[in-house]
Amino acid sequence: MKDTVVSGMNRWFGSYFQSGSKRGIIAISFLVGLLCGVAAVVLKSTVHWLHDMVLRLIASPVENLLMLLLPGVGILLTYLFVRFFVRDDIGHGVSKILLALSRHKGQIKLHNTYSSVVASSVTIGFGGSVGAEAPIVMTGAAIGSNVGRLFRLDNVTLNLMVGCGAAAGIAAIFKAPLAGIVFTLEVLMLDLTLSSIVPLLVSAVSATLLATFFSSDAALFHFVYTEPFVLNKTPYYVILGVATGLISVYFTHMAMATEAWFHSIGSGANRIFLGAALLGLLIYLFPPLYGEGYDSIQSLFLGNTRELFAHSPLAFVAGNQWFMVLALLLLVLVKVFAMSATTGAGGVGGSFAPSLFIGGVAGYVVAALLNMVFGAGVGEANFVLVGMAGAMAGVMHAPLLGIFLIAELTEGYVLLIPLMITAIVAFITVSAFEKYSIYTKQLAARGELITHHKDKTVLTMIEVQNVIETDLIVVHPEDTLRELVADVAASHRNIFPVVNQQGLLLGIVLLDSIRHVMFESDRYDSYRVRDFMTRIPAVLTIDEPMNSVMKKFEESGAWNLPVVDQGRYVGFVSKSKIFSSYREMLVRVCAD
């Protein structure tokens, strides 16, 4: 069936779909962009339809206590869909894309082309406090991967198609093609080359145009810029950068800790109950936590702070500006718990929207404090927008993405200077405390992270099982020296692994250890292999990450190390073999 489809496309589109040609790659990237645009429209429309439907089912939506139960219902439905239909983990979409690029040669499962859209629509539509961006990025990347495999693209081009899909997803959902490309280059760490920039542009623009065609406002949220930037306010944007940087550190660490706590709960039912209860309580106290939160950001941008807590126990804060600032500060601090409760309990969504949320609210808080305490006279609307860029730079370690996304959303680059100042300062601040972003922290801990450093990237792509040498002669501890000398004569290696009858590795014998008795034939039967066995400086496992392998080589000072699988001897890995594989892999990865 697949061959029939490809053959038909090749006949219909001629040389444009010849995957080995540049025109073929551009044509395929155009197709990926269109499909991702459709996926973004479906996701956005479904989220809004579910949200409106849920509100219509309740007579007094914002005052009815049933509103507190709805996010839990969405989490439960999502959990059931994932567990019994998808039967795979579809959370942490961006991290999974990074893993696919670094370890799986750009291959993403087919179900990811739709499963994230369905699951995140239900989670967010019922009020889950997460964003739709990571799911659409995962969906776009999966579309790019599976379309690329349909046309039998090589690994390098397949990775490019994954990037094209991700860029198209961001571009379509925000109506911001440049931000989509920057996301792929800065967050997914795809290399920017002459052969990659054109397909990325084609996918991002085609997705944006299609999304705009089906919706007059293709962006998830939209701002019309009104306030000018005043140069003498520059120091205040530096303060905003430091504030959003510190908040980003808090957000990243608390998200990891809270999610780890949820994962430590063995029962899925208990996770759902606790997550739904925590989320419902937080939404009861802080209504802006319901859903993605873009409406609340829009209210802050317009200065309508009174309506944020109008139907909550904190409604009294509207009468006092200091109480309002304190409530908004608490809103920033608890957003991470609402997000983690949603995903930890079984919901599907990303941290993209929560990052924008905390940045926008923090920007308003900083502006309000500067005006109340120092009479700075800064515009809250500007700080809301620039704060979002600062949070993106901090949480995602993506200052360029924050700059260009907010610039595109405001339909102009008047705020470019403050955006750059705040994003850079936020990134520098968060880098002093946290080396990795919220997307890469766990991958880096497991040694599965692809990075901008080409040498480290290539190293992560080498697997131990592909560099194992099995030509070493195995000996046993009870073997005589006579048998060992015979093995030495038959071997071209100077290392002899010692194993027992069960194949468990006990140690090694080095040629230098027996050199002094090799020519004393009258003593051959007096010695046993165990008499010459030495301690192994370090042992590798067959699935050990290559960065850990190289660290053991460095610490032990050895040139060859044994590999075991559950204690059983498998073979040896040498530095020379790794270096040889590294050079070969580097040539393939760097090829345009």
Instruction: Name all domains of the chain by residue range, CATH numbers in brackets.
Output: 18-214 (1.10.3080.10), 231-450 (1.10.3080.10), 456-591 (3.10.580.10)
Determine how many CB atoms are found less than 10 A away from the CB of residue 160: 29
Residue carrying the six token digits 């020296």? 481
Measured between alpha carbons, how far is 101 from 448 in angstroms, rounded to an integer?
A: 10
Question: Measuring CA to CA, how many Å separate 205 from each of 34, 162, 175, 208, 210?
Answer: 9, 16, 9, 5, 9
Tell me the average pLDDT across 338-361.
94
Helix or strand run (H / E) with residue 471: none
Quick one: how far is CA 431 from the chain centroid? Answer: 17
In sequence order, the 6+-apart residues with CB closer than 8 A to the CB of 266 are none
Count the residues in the chain: 592
Distance CA 21, CA 26 (A): 9
> What's the token pair of residue 106?
């750009």
* H or E, element range at 508: strand 505-510
Summarised one tens digit per residue, pLDDT across range 327-340 is: 999 999 999 999 99
Given a cut of 60, whether residue 220 has pLDDT beyond it is no
Residues 6+ apart with CB under 8 A from 247: 332, 358, 359, 362, 391, 394
Amino acid of residue 19: S
Q: How far from chain centre, in Å, is Cα 386?
A: 23
- Structural contact between residues 279 and 356, judged by C-beta atoms closer than 8 angstroms: no
Whole-angstrom CA distances from 325 to 307, 357, 376 are 14, 15, 16
Spatial CB neighbours of 486, under 8 Å, sequence gap ≥ 6? none
Is residue 218 very low, low, confident or very high in pLDDT (cuts 50, 70, 90)? very low
Helix, strand, coil distribution of the chain in percent, nearest 5: 65, 5, 30
pLDDT at 13: 46
396-455 pLDDT, tens digit per residue, is: 999 999 999 998 887 667 788 999 999 999 999 999 999 889 888 877 766 666 655 556
User: For 416, what's the count of Cα atoms within 13 Å in the CB-facing half-sphere?
Assistant: 6
pLDDT at 226: 59
Query: For the ranges 14-28, 163-177, 198-212, 466-480, which has the lowest average pLDDT?
Result: 14-28
Q: At what angle do helices 194-214 and 155-174 cross, to 10 degrees?
A: 30
Q: 253-274: string of b/e by CB count within 10 Å (b at 16+)?
A: ebbbebbeebeebeeeeebbbb
CA separation, residue 66 to residues 57, 284, 292, 341 (Å): 10, 10, 19, 18
Extract the tokens encoding 275: 């997550």
Q: Which amino acid is at 310?
A: A
User: Once rounded to an integer, what is the mean pLDDT over residues 525-553?
Assistant: 89
Q: Which one-letter DSSP state was computed for residue 312?
A: S
3-class DSSP state of 383:
helix
| Bridge partners, residue 243, by sequence | none
Q: Is the pLDDT of residue 282 over 50?
A: yes
Please report how the helices 454-461 and 93-103 are oriented relative to each other, as an axis angle in degrees rounded to 10.
80
15 versus 74: the higher-pLDDT residue is 74
Using the Cα atoms of residue 436, residue 440, residue 446 and residue 450 in order, give the sign of their dihedral: negative
pLDDT of residue 252: 95
What is the reported pLDDT for 12? Answer: 46
The helix/strand/coil state of 537 is: coil
* d(C-alpha 529, C-alpha 531), whole Å: 5
Q: How many CB atoms lie within 10 A of CB 13?
A: 15
What are the distances in angstroms from CA 262 to CA 258, 442, 588?
6, 16, 41
For residue 568, the one-letter residue type is R
pLDDT in tens, 492-535: 888 999 999 899 999 999 988 888 888 888 888 889 999 999 88
Q: What is the pLDDT of residues 160-208, one digit of tens each?
A: 999 999 999 999 999 899 999 999 989 888 777 777 899 999 999 999 9
Pairing of the two strands 505-510 and 495-499: antiparallel
Return all residues near 343 (Cβ < 8 A) that are at least 6 apart: 91, 130, 259, 349
d(CA 286, CA 544): 45
Contact predicate 29/202, CB 8 Å:
yes
Is residue 42 very low, low, confident or very high in pLDDT (cuts 50, 70, 90)?
Answer: very high
Give the predicted TM-score (pTM) of the model: 0.80
Tokens linked to 87: 């039967």
CA-CA-CA-CA torsion for 483, 485, 487, 488, nearest 10 degrees? 170
> Backbone phi, then psi, for 147, in 5-degree steps?
-65, -40
